[in-house]
Structure 1
Amino acid sequence: MESQFQLTNSKEIIAYLAQKFPNCFTLEGEAKPLKIGVFQDILSRLDGNEVLSKTKLRAALRAYTMSWRYLYSIKEGTNRVDLDGNPHEVINREQMEHAQQQLKESKEKAKKLLKDRTKEKRKTIREPSKKAKTLKIGDSVKVVVGKKPIKVQIINIEKEHIKVKVGTGMELTVKPELIINK
Protein backbone atom coordinates (compact mmCIF):
# COMPACT_ATOMS: atom_id res chain seq x y z
CA MET A 1 0.00 0.00 0.00
CA GLU A 2 1.37 3.36 -1.03
CA SER A 3 1.53 6.08 1.66
CA GLN A 4 0.23 9.46 0.60
CA PHE A 5 1.81 12.83 1.33
CA GLN A 6 0.37 14.47 4.44
CA LEU A 7 0.64 18.07 5.59
CA THR A 8 1.97 18.25 9.15
CA ASN A 9 3.03 21.87 9.70
CA SER A 10 0.33 24.38 10.74
CA LYS A 11 1.67 26.99 8.30
CA GLU A 12 1.56 24.50 5.44
CA ILE A 13 -1.99 23.50 6.37
CA ILE A 14 -3.18 27.13 6.47
CA ALA A 15 -1.49 27.77 3.11
CA TYR A 16 -3.30 24.72 1.72
CA LEU A 17 -6.63 25.96 3.14
CA ALA A 18 -6.01 29.46 1.73
CA GLN A 19 -5.41 27.92 -1.69
CA LYS A 20 -8.45 25.63 -1.42
CA PHE A 21 -10.78 28.24 0.16
CA PRO A 22 -9.44 31.69 -0.84
CA ASN A 23 -12.67 33.49 0.11
CA CYS A 24 -12.32 32.27 3.69
CA PHE A 25 -8.62 31.96 4.58
CA THR A 26 -5.93 34.55 3.87
CA LEU A 27 -2.18 34.44 4.38
CA GLU A 28 -1.65 38.22 4.29
CA GLY A 29 -3.63 41.30 5.09
CA GLU A 30 -6.73 41.37 7.23
CA ALA A 31 -8.09 37.97 8.24
CA LYS A 32 -11.79 37.17 8.01
CA PRO A 33 -13.67 35.93 11.08
CA LEU A 34 -14.50 32.26 10.52
CA LYS A 35 -17.95 30.76 10.87
CA ILE A 36 -18.39 28.77 14.07
CA GLY A 37 -18.17 25.10 13.06
CA VAL A 38 -15.80 25.69 10.12
CA PHE A 39 -13.77 22.64 11.24
CA GLN A 40 -16.67 20.30 10.41
CA ASP A 41 -17.30 22.15 7.13
CA ILE A 42 -13.67 21.61 6.10
CA LEU A 43 -13.87 17.91 6.95
CA SER A 44 -17.03 17.46 4.88
CA ARG A 45 -15.55 19.36 1.90
CA LEU A 46 -12.31 17.37 1.98
CA ASP A 47 -14.20 14.08 2.32
CA GLY A 48 -11.77 11.22 1.75
CA ASN A 49 -8.82 13.56 1.28
CA GLU A 50 -5.86 12.11 3.17
CA VAL A 51 -3.74 15.28 2.98
CA LEU A 52 -4.91 16.45 6.43
CA SER A 53 -5.33 14.61 9.69
CA LYS A 54 -8.09 15.85 11.99
CA THR A 55 -5.61 16.50 14.79
CA LYS A 56 -3.26 18.55 12.60
CA LEU A 57 -6.17 20.45 11.07
CA ARG A 58 -7.54 21.29 14.53
CA ALA A 59 -4.07 22.50 15.66
CA ALA A 60 -3.65 24.61 12.50
CA LEU A 61 -7.08 26.21 12.94
CA ARG A 62 -6.24 26.94 16.57
CA ALA A 63 -2.98 28.63 15.53
CA TYR A 64 -4.80 30.62 12.83
CA THR A 65 -7.60 31.80 15.12
CA MET A 66 -5.17 32.69 17.93
CA SER A 67 -2.96 34.81 15.67
CA TRP A 68 -2.94 38.53 16.36
CA ARG A 69 -4.02 39.21 12.79
CA TYR A 70 -7.12 37.05 13.24
CA LEU A 71 -7.95 38.35 16.73
CA TYR A 72 -7.86 41.92 15.38
CA SER A 73 -10.56 40.92 12.85
CA ILE A 74 -13.07 40.00 15.55
CA LYS A 75 -15.15 43.19 15.78
CA GLU A 76 -18.71 43.62 17.00
CA GLY A 77 -21.18 43.75 14.12
CA THR A 78 -18.85 42.02 11.63
CA ASN A 79 -20.11 38.90 9.86
CA ARG A 80 -18.30 35.59 10.16
CA VAL A 81 -17.73 33.83 6.82
CA ASP A 82 -18.10 30.25 5.64
CA LEU A 83 -15.64 28.42 3.36
CA ASP A 84 -17.02 30.21 0.28
CA GLY A 85 -16.83 33.67 1.89
CA ASN A 86 -20.61 33.92 2.39
CA PRO A 87 -21.66 35.93 5.46
CA HIS A 88 -22.99 34.03 8.48
CA GLU A 89 -23.66 34.96 12.10
CA VAL A 90 -22.74 38.44 13.33
CA ILE A 91 -20.07 38.83 16.00
CA ASN A 92 -21.56 40.03 19.28
CA ARG A 93 -19.97 42.17 22.00
CA GLU A 94 -19.09 39.18 24.20
CA GLN A 95 -17.20 37.46 21.37
CA MET A 96 -15.33 40.67 20.58
CA GLU A 97 -14.36 41.18 24.23
CA HIS A 98 -13.17 37.57 24.45
CA ALA A 99 -10.98 38.06 21.36
CA GLN A 100 -9.58 41.31 22.78
CA GLN A 101 -8.74 39.53 26.06
CA GLN A 102 -6.99 36.72 24.14
CA LEU A 103 -5.04 39.31 22.18
CA LYS A 104 -4.03 41.18 25.34
CA GLU A 105 -2.85 37.96 27.04
CA SER A 106 -0.93 36.88 23.94
CA LYS A 107 0.83 40.24 23.68
CA GLU A 108 1.75 40.18 27.39
CA LYS A 109 3.14 36.66 27.01
CA ALA A 110 5.20 37.71 23.97
CA LYS A 111 6.49 40.78 25.81
CA LYS A 112 7.52 38.66 28.83
CA LEU A 113 9.21 36.11 26.57
CA LEU A 114 11.16 38.86 24.79
CA LYS A 115 12.16 40.38 28.13
CA ASP A 116 13.34 36.98 29.43
CA ARG A 117 15.37 36.33 26.27
CA THR A 118 17.00 39.74 26.53
CA LYS A 119 17.83 39.07 30.18
CA GLU A 120 19.38 35.69 29.24
CA LYS A 121 21.48 37.29 26.51
CA ARG A 122 22.80 39.85 28.99
CA LYS A 123 23.80 37.05 31.37
CA THR A 124 25.77 35.24 28.68
CA ILE A 125 27.80 38.33 27.78
CA ARG A 126 30.81 38.18 30.06
CA GLU A 127 32.12 41.28 31.63
CA PRO A 128 35.87 41.18 32.15
CA SER A 129 36.35 40.75 35.89
CA LYS A 130 39.83 42.21 36.01
CA LYS A 131 41.95 43.78 33.37
CA ALA A 132 44.61 41.26 32.35
CA LYS A 133 48.10 42.42 33.04
CA THR A 134 50.61 42.74 30.24
CA LEU A 135 52.74 39.65 29.75
CA LYS A 136 56.50 39.89 30.17
CA ILE A 137 59.36 37.44 29.83
CA GLY A 138 59.90 35.72 33.19
CA ASP A 139 56.22 35.92 34.29
CA SER A 140 54.68 32.82 35.85
CA VAL A 141 51.29 32.06 34.33
CA LYS A 142 49.07 29.06 33.65
CA VAL A 143 48.52 27.56 30.20
CA VAL A 144 45.57 25.39 29.20
CA VAL A 145 47.03 22.13 27.95
CA GLY A 146 44.50 19.34 27.62
CA LYS A 147 41.90 19.52 30.38
CA LYS A 148 43.96 21.12 33.15
CA PRO A 149 45.92 24.36 33.16
CA ILE A 150 49.57 23.93 34.05
CA LYS A 151 51.95 26.42 35.63
CA VAL A 152 54.64 27.72 33.23
CA GLN A 153 57.14 30.53 32.89
CA ILE A 154 57.25 32.80 29.83
CA ILE A 155 60.63 32.62 28.09
CA ASN A 156 59.90 34.40 24.79
CA ILE A 157 57.06 36.50 23.33
CA GLU A 158 56.60 36.48 19.55
CA LYS A 159 53.87 38.07 17.38
CA GLU A 160 51.43 35.15 17.26
CA HIS A 161 52.95 32.71 19.77
CA ILE A 162 54.41 32.68 23.25
CA LYS A 163 57.21 30.32 24.23
CA VAL A 164 56.86 28.93 27.74
CA LYS A 165 58.87 26.57 29.95
CA VAL A 166 57.20 23.88 32.06
CA GLY A 167 58.65 23.00 35.50
CA THR A 168 60.27 19.88 34.01
CA GLY A 169 62.30 22.02 31.62
CA MET A 170 60.21 21.21 28.52
CA GLU A 171 59.52 24.24 26.28
CA LEU A 172 56.21 24.76 24.51
CA THR A 173 54.98 27.27 21.95
CA VAL A 174 51.39 28.29 22.67
CA LYS A 175 48.80 30.74 21.37
CA PRO A 176 48.10 33.76 23.62
CA GLU A 177 44.43 32.76 24.10
CA LEU A 178 45.53 29.58 25.94
CA ILE A 179 47.28 31.59 28.67
CA ILE A 180 45.45 32.27 31.91
CA ASN A 181 46.82 35.58 33.15
CA LYS A 182 45.44 36.73 36.48
Structure 2
Amino acid sequence: MESQFQLTNSKEIIVYLSQQFPNCFTLEGEAKPLKIGIFQDILSRLNENEALSKTKLRAALRAYTMSWRYLYSIKEGVNRVDLDGNPSEAINQEQMEHAQQQLKESKEKAKERFKEQAKEKRKTTHAPSKKTKILKNGDFIRVLIGKKPIKAQIINIEKEQIKVKIGAGMELTVKPEHIINK
Protein backbone atom coordinates (compact mmCIF):
# COMPACT_ATOMS: atom_id res chain seq x y z
CA MET A 1 0.00 0.00 0.00
CA GLU A 2 1.48 3.32 -1.13
CA SER A 3 0.57 6.48 0.71
CA GLN A 4 0.72 10.10 -0.34
CA PHE A 5 3.72 10.96 1.83
CA GLN A 6 5.78 8.26 0.08
CA LEU A 7 5.06 9.57 -3.41
CA THR A 8 6.39 13.08 -3.14
CA ASN A 9 8.16 13.76 -6.41
CA SER A 10 7.49 13.18 -10.09
CA LYS A 11 10.14 10.47 -10.50
CA GLU A 12 8.64 8.38 -7.68
CA ILE A 13 5.18 8.79 -9.15
CA ILE A 14 6.34 7.73 -12.63
CA VAL A 15 8.03 4.65 -11.14
CA TYR A 16 4.78 3.86 -9.32
CA LEU A 17 2.73 4.33 -12.52
CA SER A 18 5.12 2.10 -14.48
CA GLN A 19 4.60 -0.61 -11.84
CA GLN A 20 0.82 -0.24 -11.83
CA PHE A 21 0.45 0.14 -15.62
CA PRO A 22 3.51 -1.51 -17.24
CA ASN A 23 1.83 -1.70 -20.67
CA CYS A 24 1.43 2.07 -20.70
CA PHE A 25 4.33 3.68 -18.82
CA THR A 26 7.97 2.73 -19.38
CA LEU A 27 11.10 3.85 -17.58
CA GLU A 28 13.59 2.83 -20.27
CA GLY A 29 13.60 2.47 -24.01
CA GLU A 30 11.07 4.06 -26.30
CA ALA A 31 8.10 5.65 -24.57
CA LYS A 32 4.56 4.96 -25.75
CA PRO A 33 2.33 7.92 -26.65
CA LEU A 34 -0.36 8.20 -23.99
CA LYS A 35 -4.07 8.35 -24.70
CA ILE A 36 -5.56 11.82 -24.41
CA GLY A 37 -7.38 11.96 -21.07
CA ILE A 38 -5.07 9.45 -19.36
CA PHE A 39 -5.12 11.60 -16.19
CA GLN A 40 -8.81 10.86 -15.60
CA ASP A 41 -8.30 7.19 -16.43
CA ILE A 42 -5.55 6.95 -13.79
CA LEU A 43 -7.73 8.65 -11.17
CA SER A 44 -10.61 6.25 -11.86
CA ARG A 45 -8.32 3.18 -11.61
CA LEU A 46 -6.47 4.08 -8.41
CA ASN A 47 -7.79 2.59 -5.20
CA GLU A 48 -8.89 4.91 -2.45
CA ASN A 49 -6.09 3.41 -0.34
CA GLU A 50 -3.55 4.71 -2.85
CA ALA A 51 -3.66 8.34 -1.82
CA LEU A 52 -2.01 10.31 -4.57
CA SER A 53 -2.30 14.06 -4.88
CA LYS A 54 -3.97 15.14 -8.12
CA THR A 55 -1.57 18.06 -8.34
CA LYS A 56 1.48 15.83 -7.97
CA LEU A 57 0.06 13.31 -10.45
CA ARG A 58 -0.57 16.09 -12.96
CA ALA A 59 2.99 17.39 -12.47
CA ALA A 60 4.43 13.89 -12.90
CA LEU A 61 2.46 13.33 -16.10
CA ARG A 62 3.66 16.70 -17.38
CA ALA A 63 7.28 15.76 -16.64
CA TYR A 64 6.81 12.38 -18.34
CA THR A 65 5.17 13.83 -21.47
CA MET A 66 7.70 16.66 -21.76
CA SER A 67 10.71 14.34 -21.60
CA TRP A 68 12.75 14.09 -24.77
CA ARG A 69 12.23 10.34 -24.80
CA TYR A 70 8.46 10.80 -24.84
CA LEU A 71 8.48 13.65 -27.37
CA TYR A 72 10.55 11.51 -29.75
CA SER A 73 7.79 8.87 -29.62
CA ILE A 74 5.13 11.25 -30.99
CA LYS A 75 5.04 10.37 -34.70
CA GLU A 76 2.20 10.74 -37.15
CA GLY A 77 0.13 7.58 -37.54
CA VAL A 78 1.39 5.94 -34.32
CA ASN A 79 -1.43 4.89 -31.99
CA ARG A 80 -1.66 6.25 -28.49
CA VAL A 81 -2.16 3.68 -25.72
CA ASP A 82 -4.53 3.42 -22.77
CA LEU A 83 -3.54 2.20 -19.31
CA ASP A 84 -3.64 -1.44 -20.42
CA GLY A 85 -1.52 -0.81 -23.52
CA ASN A 86 -4.49 -1.10 -25.91
CA PRO A 87 -4.26 1.11 -29.01
CA SER A 88 -6.30 4.28 -28.94
CA GLU A 89 -6.52 7.18 -31.41
CA ALA A 90 -3.67 7.74 -33.87
CA ILE A 91 -1.39 10.78 -33.69
CA ASN A 92 -2.10 13.34 -36.40
CA GLN A 93 0.26 15.73 -38.21
CA GLU A 94 -0.60 18.70 -35.97
CA GLN A 95 0.13 16.74 -32.75
CA MET A 96 3.44 15.51 -34.19
CA GLU A 97 4.48 19.04 -35.18
CA HIS A 98 3.55 20.33 -31.70
CA ALA A 99 5.72 17.62 -30.08
CA GLN A 100 8.62 18.44 -32.40
CA GLN A 101 8.31 22.13 -31.51
CA GLN A 102 8.28 21.29 -27.78
CA LEU A 103 11.36 19.10 -28.26
CA LYS A 104 13.17 21.85 -30.17
CA GLU A 105 12.40 24.44 -27.46
CA SER A 106 13.45 22.07 -24.69
CA LYS A 107 16.75 21.35 -26.42
CA GLU A 108 17.40 25.07 -26.90
CA LYS A 109 16.75 25.72 -23.20
CA ALA A 110 19.07 22.87 -22.25
CA LYS A 111 21.74 24.27 -24.56
CA GLU A 112 21.40 27.71 -22.94
CA ARG A 113 21.62 26.21 -19.44
CA PHE A 114 24.74 24.31 -20.49
CA LYS A 115 26.31 27.50 -21.85
CA GLU A 116 25.50 29.36 -18.62
CA GLN A 117 26.97 26.58 -16.50
CA ALA A 118 30.12 26.56 -18.63
CA LYS A 119 30.33 30.34 -18.32
CA GLU A 120 30.01 30.14 -14.52
CA LYS A 121 32.64 27.42 -14.40
CA ARG A 122 35.04 29.56 -16.45
CA LYS A 123 34.48 32.47 -14.06
CA THR A 124 35.47 30.38 -11.07
CA THR A 125 38.48 28.76 -12.74
CA HIS A 126 39.91 31.79 -14.55
CA ALA A 127 43.61 32.47 -14.80
CA PRO A 128 45.15 34.82 -12.25
CA SER A 129 44.85 38.49 -13.10
CA LYS A 130 47.83 40.54 -14.23
CA LYS A 131 47.84 42.36 -10.88
CA THR A 132 48.88 39.20 -9.04
CA LYS A 133 52.28 39.64 -7.48
CA ILE A 134 54.77 36.82 -7.85
CA LEU A 135 55.59 35.52 -4.40
CA LYS A 136 59.07 34.69 -3.18
CA ASN A 137 60.73 33.63 0.05
CA GLY A 138 60.81 36.40 2.64
CA ASP A 139 57.68 38.21 1.36
CA PHE A 140 55.18 39.38 3.92
CA ILE A 141 51.63 38.31 3.10
CA ARG A 142 48.27 37.70 4.71
CA VAL A 143 47.05 34.11 5.13
CA LEU A 144 43.41 33.23 5.52
CA ILE A 145 43.14 30.94 8.54
CA GLY A 146 39.58 30.33 9.60
CA LYS A 147 37.58 33.48 8.91
CA LYS A 148 40.32 36.07 9.56
CA PRO A 149 43.47 36.80 7.58
CA ILE A 150 46.71 36.72 9.61
CA LYS A 151 50.04 38.40 8.80
CA ALA A 152 52.74 35.91 7.85
CA GLN A 153 56.13 35.68 6.13
CA ILE A 154 56.90 33.15 3.41
CA ILE A 155 59.63 30.71 4.42
CA ASN A 156 59.51 28.21 1.56
CA ILE A 157 57.48 27.78 -1.64
CA GLU A 158 56.85 24.28 -3.00
CA LYS A 159 54.56 23.07 -5.80
CA GLU A 160 51.20 22.88 -4.03
CA GLN A 161 52.17 24.20 -0.61
CA ILE A 162 53.64 27.32 0.88
CA LYS A 163 55.36 27.29 4.26
CA VAL A 164 54.77 30.48 6.24
CA LYS A 165 55.74 31.82 9.65
CA ILE A 166 53.10 33.76 11.56
CA GLY A 167 53.79 36.48 14.14
CA ALA A 168 53.98 34.12 17.13
CA GLY A 169 56.79 32.18 15.45
CA MET A 170 54.58 29.24 14.48
CA GLU A 171 55.25 27.74 11.06
CA LEU A 172 52.31 26.60 8.93
CA THR A 173 51.96 24.94 5.56
CA VAL A 174 49.14 26.45 3.50
CA LYS A 175 47.68 26.09 0.04
CA PRO A 176 48.06 28.97 -2.45
CA GLU A 177 44.31 29.73 -2.38
CA HIS A 178 44.60 30.68 1.32
CA ILE A 179 47.06 33.48 0.60
CA ILE A 180 45.80 37.03 0.24
CA ASN A 181 48.35 38.75 -1.93
CA LYS A 182 48.23 42.55 -1.47
Q: TM-score, normalised by structure 2?
A: 0.81
Distance 1:52 1:161, change over 3 A: same
1:7-18 → structure 2 map (5 Å cutoff): 7-18=7-18
Counterparts of 1:126-137 in structure 2 under 5 Å? 126-129=126-129, 130=132, 132-135=134-137
**C-alpha RMSD of the superposition:** 2.5
For 1:143, the aligned partner's letter is R
Structure 1, unmatched stretches of 5+, are none
Give the residue type in structure 1 aligned to 2:55. T
The whole-number CA distance in structure 1 between the counterparts of 2:156 and 2:108 is 56
Q: Say which SS state the counterpart of residue 171 (structure 1) adopts.
A: coil
Q: Is the 8 A contact 1:141 1:179 kept in 2?
A: no
Q: Tell me the equivalent position of 1:107.
A: 107
Distance 1:131 1:30, change over 3 A: same
CA distance in 2, matches of 1:53, 1:153: 63
Match of 2:57 in 1: 57
Deviates further, 4-13 or 117-126: 4-13
Larger Rg: 1
> Equivalent residue for 2:94?
94
On the 8 A contact 1:141/1:180 being kept in 2, the answer is no
Percent of aligned positions that are identical = 67
Distance 1:28 1:52 in 2: 23
Aligned residue pairs total 170
Moved >3 Å (runs of 4+): 156-164, 176-182
Point out where structure 2 has 5 or more consecutive residues left out of the alignment: none
Distance 1:172 1:53, change over 3 A: same
**For residue 3 of structure 2, what is the aligned residue in structure 1?**
5
